[in-house]
């Protein structure tokens, strides 16, 4: 049985989860480096669109160095500037990643190793007081608390590590620890990537039921004004969609079309078609 203490260790919004979260980030990063540092893998395809392994490395350099710059700017009393709205995130990320193709493999990997080490030190130094209250402007998602940045690194290494393994045609799964820790943030991601122009046939009322250490039922409502979500029950929902943690993460990131819809199948399909990929 999961105790309150154990539950807190899987809720990244709670400072009690900090050590567990950073442990999982380190494990995912080391697994990623183990594959990216194999010379033969450098130009292999991945499940991240047209990106090769080297492009994901470049993307992670861009992302991680950006996190560090934003922390340092905010710590210095200034406000970090946003780059663009989230609708432009994929275009900007692609542009910045491909710019690193001119760098030698060893140099780019060393740069990522260095940035990762500096970012982890920065996260380790975040206090209990600052974990949920120190607000830093994200490049695309506005002002977010400090804990969102190690979660961002878990998304980076967890999901892109999956992309690399998938591209290499390995027998693999998304890490259960990474998936469990990311579950609550998939509703944030869905909310941020809802395209209300795709909402046809009326408003939606969906219950998403997830298993695992962050399991539960989340009630989602979508109107032309956007998506809202809150803990809830299945009662009265047009459709209940069941996910395991990994399937939810891969679906929210556009890597899979998973979930078991129980109820109005048309509502389930309309819900699944609402989101743009970042």
| Domains of the chain, residue spans | 4-172, 188-272
26: CB partners within 8 A, 6+ apart: 120
Degrees to nearest 5, angle at CA 121 with 12 and 155: 40
Q: Please state which of the four CATH numbers 3.30.2290.10, 3.30.1050.10, 3.40.190.150, 3.30.70.1350 is assigned to the domain occupying 188-272.
A: 3.30.1050.10
Length, in residues, of the chain: 278
| Three-state SS at 241 | strand
SS3 101: helix
CATH topology of domain 4-172: 1.20.120
Per-residue pLDDT tens digits for 15-51: 999 999 999 999 999 999 999 999 999 999 999 999 9
Equal CATH topology for 4-172 and 188-272: no
Q: Which of the residues in the chain have pLDDT under 70?
A: 1-5
Question: Residues with Cβ < 8 Å from 43, sequence gap 6 or more?
Answer: 52, 53, 54
pLDDT score, position 189: 97
- What is the predicted pLDDT for the residue at 278? 85
- The whole-number pLDDT of residue 6 equals 81
Q: Which residues of 89-109 are buried (b: 16+ CB within 10 A; e: fewer)?
A: bbeebbebbbebeebeeeebb
What pLDDT is stored for residue 7 in this prediction?
83
pLDDT at 1: 41
pLDDT at 62: 97
> pTM for the full model?
0.95
């Amino acid at each position: 049985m999961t105790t309150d203490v154990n539950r807190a260790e899987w809720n990244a919004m709670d400072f009690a989860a900090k050590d567990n979260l950073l442990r999982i980030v380190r494990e995912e990063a080391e697994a990623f480096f183990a594959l990216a540092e194999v010379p033969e893998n450098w130009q292999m395809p991945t499940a991240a669109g047209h990106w090769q392994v080297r492009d994901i490395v470049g993307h992670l350099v861009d992302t991680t160095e950006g996190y560090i710059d934003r922390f340092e700017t905010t710590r210095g009393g200034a406000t970090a500037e946003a780059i663009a709205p989230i609708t432009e995130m994929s275009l900007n990320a692609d542009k910045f990643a491909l710019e690193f193709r001119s760098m030698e493999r060893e140099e780019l990997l060393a740069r990522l190793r260095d940035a990762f080490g500096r970012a982890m030190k920065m996260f380790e130094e975040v206090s209990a007081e600052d974990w949920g209250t120190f607000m830093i402007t994200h490049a695309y998602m506005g002002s977010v608390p400090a804990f969102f940045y190690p979660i961002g690194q878990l998304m980076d290494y967890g999901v892109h590590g999956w992309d690399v393994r998938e591209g290499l045609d390995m027998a693999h799964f998304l890490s259960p620890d990474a998936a469990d820790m990311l579950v609550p943030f998939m509703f944030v991601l869905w909310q941020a990537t809802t395209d209300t122009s795709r909402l046809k046939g009326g408003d939606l009322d969906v219950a998403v039921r997830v298993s695992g250490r962050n399991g539960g039922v989340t009630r989602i409502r979508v109107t032309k004004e956007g998506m809202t979500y809150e803990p809830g029950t299945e009662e009265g929902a047009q459709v209940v969609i069941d996910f395991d943690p990994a399937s939810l993460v891969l679906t929210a990131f556009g890597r899979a079309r998973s979930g078991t819809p129980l109820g109005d199948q048309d509502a389930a399909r309309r819900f699944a078609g609402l989101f743009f990929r970042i």
